Amino acid sequence: MLEQDISRIFFTEEEITACVDRLAEQVCRDYAGKTPIVVCTLRGAFVFAADLIRRLDLPLTVEFLSVSSYGSGTVSSGNVDIRLDIAENIEGRDVLIIEDILDSGNTLSHLIKELNARNPASLKLCVLLDKPERRMPGVVLRPDYLGFTIPDEFVVGYGLDYNQHYRNLPYIGVLKPDVYRS
């Protein structure tokens, strides 16, 4: 039923699996001998984070953070709201943020500024999808770990949603514009 709203598949399950494997290798190499705090941003990154974490052969702890600037729309409102904060103290710790998509950069810039103020030993960003065409002027964000760079199209699946739907698709697809314009 959900598939009828997808105009095309951007990344298959197999392509996503290969990407997660590649990212896990990079993270394991960079965090060897460390015990990072992995911060999963909810809700969009939970599928990606779960798959990535299962491939990390590292001692780690997991925290969840809910930050939003979208509400139920398709464009950032510009107002960032921390709905759920992490419980663990990150001062002096190595922190890895796992995010589903880097779009305007507004939300992630705010989050990184907030977490850096807590004095972690290091703070790195792992992003599944990057849409550099959507970056707001003046926002300079470069993920330390990047899955795919994509053009400015509205994508869903593999945790990404439109109005809380489509997260359960096993692939990443382009949502038909008539779905979110109606």
pLDDT band at 73 (very low <50, low <70, confident <90, very high): low
Q: Considering 5, 103, 130, 161, which one is annotated as catalytic?
A: 103
By CB neighbour count within 10 A (0-12 exposed, 13-18 middle, 19+ buried), where does 120 fall? Answer: buried
- Tell me the pLDDT tens digit for each residue of 84-121: 999 999 999 999 999 999 998 988 998 999 999 999 99
Give the pLDDT confidence score for residue 61 in this predicted structure: 97
pLDDT of residue 77 exceeding 90, the answer is no
- Tell me the pLDDT tens digit for each residue of 2-24: 899 999 999 999 999 999 999 99
Q: Who contacts 56 (Cβ-Cβ below 8 Å, separation ≥6)?
A: 24, 27, 28, 31, 38
Domains of the chain (ranges, CATH numbers): 2-181 (3.40.50.2020)
* Rounded distance between C-alpha atoms, residue 68 and residue 77, angstroms: 9
Is 103 one of the catalytic residues? yes
Give the pLDDT confidence score for residue 123 in this predicted structure: 98
Averaged over 153-166, what is the pLDDT?
Answer: 96
* Rounded distance between C-alpha atoms, residue 58 and residue 92, angstroms: 18
The rounded mean pLDDT for the chain is 92
pTM: 0.91
- Tell me the pLDDT tens digit for each residue of 36-72: 999 999 999 999 999 999 999 999 999 999 987 655 5
pLDDT of residue 75 exceeding 80, the answer is no
Helix (H) or strand (E) holding 175: strand 172-175
Give the pLDDT confidence score for residue 164 in this predicted structure: 92
Give the pLDDT confidence score for residue 82 in this predicted structure: 84
Averaged over 138-152, what is the pLDDT?
Answer: 94
pLDDT band at 76 (very low <50, low <70, confident <90, very high): low
Considering only residues 118 and 75, tell me which one the structure prediction assigns the higher pLDDT: 118
* Rounded distance between C-alpha atoms, residue 155 and residue 66, angstroms: 20
Q: What is the 3-state secondary structure of 137-161?
A: CCCCCCCCEEEEECCCCCEEECCEC
DSSP state of 164: T
164, HSE (Cβ side, Cα atoms, 13 Å): 2
Helix (H) or strand (E) holding 83: strand 81-84
